[in-house]
Amino acid sequence: MQLTIDQIQSRVPVTIIALHGDLDASNYEQVIAKARELYAAGARHLLLDLCDVPFMGSSGVVALHSVALLMRGELPPDPEEGWQAFHSINHARAGGVQQQVKLLGPQPKISRTLQMTSMNDFFEIHTDKQVAVASF
């Protein structure tokens, strides 16, 4: 997987992470590490561009959730805890749509994964980049 980073000034600075390739167990920690790095550098509003992600495994769902927690200044669950990470996702979803991280352009297969895990209730999902950036 490759990540490209861009920043756009809207009402607030919006950092865009574009993911290229599958998001799975082989690379999900890379996404979390990049979000941690960006947060430490001052990023607080993040758009995850999923347009070029053909597949996302369960570890990808954990990565998305972890990134959202990081952008809220919270510690994500330890990936080594396995199912405990998924239980924390259930708790977070109950809080409704969070505003720090939004998703752009998930392909149909990714959209189904988001729906099956109810993560579409946790993330605001956009199909247009300009509209997504303006929504922050």
Helix 58-71 vs helix 108-116: crossing angle, to nearest 10: 70
Question: 46: Cβ–Cβ under 8 A, 6 or more apart, which residues?
Answer: 14, 15, 16, 17, 35, 38, 67, 71, 100, 101, 102
Collect all residues with Cβ–Cβ distance below 8 Å to 11 and sequence separation of at least 6: 134, 136
Residues contacting residue 99 through CB under 8 Å, at least 6 positions apart: 124, 136
- Using alpha carbons, list the distances in angstroms from residue 62 to 10, 42, 105: 28, 23, 19
Q: Tokens standing for 93?
A: 């979803």
**Among residues 44, 45, 50, which one has the least CA distance to residue 23?**
50
Domains of the chain with CATH codes: 2-134 (3.30.750.24)
pLDDT at 79: 65
- The reported pLDDT for the residue numbered 42 is 97
List the pLDDT tens digit at each of the 136 positions of the chain: 999 999 999 999 999 999 999 999 999 999 999 999 999 999 999 999 999 999 999 889 989 999 999 999 988 877 666 555 555 555 555 556 889 999 999 999 999 999 998 889 899 999 999 999 999 9
The pLDDT of residue 134 is 97
